[in-house]
Amino acid sequence: MAQLWQGRFSKAVDSRVNDFNSSIRFDQRMARQDITGSMAHAAMLGAQGIISQKDADEILSGLEGILNDLESGALAIDPEAEDIHTFVEQTLTARIGDAGKRLHTGRSRNDQVALDIRLTLRDMGRSLQQQLAELVETLCKKAAENTASVMPGYTHLQRAQPVTMGHQLMAYVWMLLRDLDRFEDALARMNSQCPLGSGALAGTTYPLDRQRTAAALGFDGPCPNSLDGVSDRDFCIELAGAISICMMHLSRLSEEIILWSSWEFKFIELDDAFTTGSSIMPQKKNPDVTELIRGKTGRVYGDLNTLLVMMKGLPLAYNKDMQEDKEAIFDAVDTLALCLRTVTPMLDTMRTLPENMRAAAAKGFINATDCADYLTKKGVPFRDAYKLTGSLVAHCIANGTTLEALPMETFKSFSPVFDEGVYEAIDLIRCTEGRASEGGPCAASVTKQIKQAGEQLAAWKEKHHAEV
């Protein structure tokens, strides 16, 4: 397929250069968006009298036919084409003749690709949001099933204070809801300015109606500066940043799933359909999905770094370096989509093991803070109560027992302040339910959080008329 920029050159491009320069392998996925942008441009050219209405109508009909044929499989994209823009325009010209050659009037591939990638990422971003909403709903459902499932909460991976599985899962819900907001912000900025009409870098002498094309394509308005319109990829970087943060949250959740599914913890049981076995050890049940999410998180970080390093030293306006934007951002999008598509049903089918969680909670002195608080409420200064409780824990460790199992005489031997109320104060269920402060692990608090998260999701769905 011939290049669009023939005329200046006296010989054909070396095949090796053509292969090196080509982007059709990865930008062909923007075919629909390229055609959509071209149709808006052609309609505007006709309305402005820049080309005849007859030519505009022929172009619109031709582009619609190409799109239909691509989607039906009747037309295949030429892998030898330089890029998707070249393929569409030359296919159009082959079908409708000279009218097709007028499509590119008042436009450059620079503003064309800047538009196409925005349109593509806008669609991809909404799809990611829908997948993320499904994950949040799944986690909320699991949290609702486990509001009374007491387990150790950890700091430094050491048992610290009692929480519930529901409380633990809701922590990730709030992280992911912030991710949903980050996507919303990134997409809103991406959608605020339409680059079409910026031309190569300095606009055009044609009387374009940029407000019309921006509105037709669903943008808030045109880019105010033509140089900026074709020169930046901050919208790719911002989306890649949001994806990276979301992947980080998924990676942290995955690490917990890996720990919880091990025999050392055994707080959960993953469904066989979302685990793998060993080629040599028949007893193994490996949490491969979550391990891959951890690994793929590093991959997405690499995509973000690619975009940042690619852009950091580029002078205005367009430079060929920017062709690398699509592979990086598409890979980041695809990776997150793949992870979300897999982790959501894995968590939905995950079985929690409350008895094992309760047993682990009983062994780690995670009610020690509650014992100290009990003493404080009895009038003992907190620092004295802290030291006294620490001495009790040391005694339990030395004697192979727990605070709950200590007889009253032992408590009294450490302080006469102790009475039978201490047993209620250090009961693990009561410890959890007693933490009724806003955002705490008690069942009422977790239930409230689930309701709040549901309301936030419902508001997002209503805004976007999403069926999730």
pLDDT in tens, 142-159: 999 999 999 999 999 999
**How many Å apart are CA 287 and CA 275, to the nearest integer?**
5
User: Across residues 12-22, what is the average pLDDT?
Assistant: 71
Structure tokens at 413: 């031997």
Q: Which of 396, 389, 387, 383 is nearest to 418 (CA)?
A: 389
**How many Å apart are CA 292 and CA 339, to the nearest integer?**
9
Q: Determine whether domain 15-105 maps to CATH 2.40.40.20.
A: no
Average predicted confidence (pLDDT) for the chain: 94
User: Model's pTM, two decimal places?
Assistant: 0.92
The per-residue pLDDT for range 316-337, each reduced to its tens digit, is 999 999 999 999 999 999 999 9
Structure tokens at 15: 């095949």
- Which pLDDT does position 27 carry in this prediction? 94
Q: Which residues are catalytic?
A: 156, 278
- Which pLDDT does position 3 carry in this prediction? 58
Q: CA 134, 136, 141 angle in degrees (round to 5)?
A: 95
End-to-end Cα separation, the chain, in angstroms: 43
Q: Where in the chain is the domain with CATH 1.10.275.10?
A: 15-105
**How many Å apart are CA 87 and CA 67, to the nearest integer?**
12
- Which pLDDT does position 277 carry in this prediction? 86
Q: Which of 132, 169, 318, 170 is nearest to 233 (CA)?
A: 318
- Which pLDDT does position 8 carry in this prediction? 58
Cβ neighbours, 10 Å, residue 261: 21
Q: In the chain, pLDDT over 90 holds for what percent of residues?
A: 90
- Residue 433 Cα to chain centre, angstroms: 33
**How many Å apart are CA 217 and CA 41, to the nearest integer?**
10
Q: Is residue 217 within 8 Å of 195, Cβ to Cβ?
A: no
Structure tokens at 246: 């979301």
The per-residue pLDDT for range 376-429, each reduced to its tens digit, is 999 999 999 999 999 999 999 999 999 999 999 999 999 999 999 999 999 999
Q: Is residue 62 within 8 Å of 95, Cβ to Cβ?
A: yes
Question: Any idea how long the chain is?
Answer: 468
Residue 364's pLDDT band (cuts 50, 70, 90): confident
**Residue 53: is its pLDDT beyond 80?**
yes
Q: Classify the phi-psi angles of 179: left when phi > 0, otherwise alpha if psi is within -120 to 50, otherwise beta.
A: alpha
The CATH code of the domain at 110-359 is 1.20.200.10
**Residue 305: is its pLDDT beyond 90?**
yes
**How many Å apart are CA 234 and CA 309, to the nearest integer?**
12
Amino acid at 285: K
Amino acid at 385: A
The CATH code of the domain at 368-426 is 1.10.40.30
- Which pLDDT does position 5 carry in this prediction? 47
The per-residue pLDDT for range 233-285, each reduced to its tens digit, is 999 999 999 999 999 999 999 999 999 999 999 999 999 999 988 888 878 89
**Residue 467: is its pLDDT beyond 50?**
no
- Which pLDDT does position 282 carry in this prediction? 79
Q: At what angle do helices 84-96 and 31-47 cross, to 10 degrees?
A: 50
* Neighbouring residues of 405: CB distance < 8 A, sequence distance ≥ 6: none
Q: Nearest 5°: phi and psi at 255? A: -60, -40
Q: Which of 404, 457, 463 is nearest to 428 (CA)?
A: 404
DSSP 59: H
State the DSSP H helix or E strand holding residue 155, giving kind and residue range, or none if neither.
strand 150-155
Q: Say whether 385 sits in a helix, a strand or coil.
A: helix
Distances (CA, A) of 103 to 77, 115, 453: 19, 15, 48
Q: Is residue 118 within 8 Å of 190, Cβ to Cβ?
A: yes
Report H helices in 201-324. 210-216, 226-231, 234-261, 288-311
Residue 9's pLDDT band (cuts 50, 70, 90): low
Q: CA 329, 254, 346 angle in degrees (round to 5)?
A: 95
- Which pLDDT does position 11 carry in this prediction? 60
Structure tokens at 23: 């982007």
- Residue 435 Cα to chain centre, angstroms: 32
**How many Å apart are CA 354 and CA 250, to the nearest integer?**
23
Distances (CA, A) of 207 to 36, 50, 203, 328, 428: 21, 8, 10, 36, 74
3-state SS string over 166-208? HHHHHHHHHHHHHHHHHHHHHHHHHCCCECCCCCCCCCCCCCC
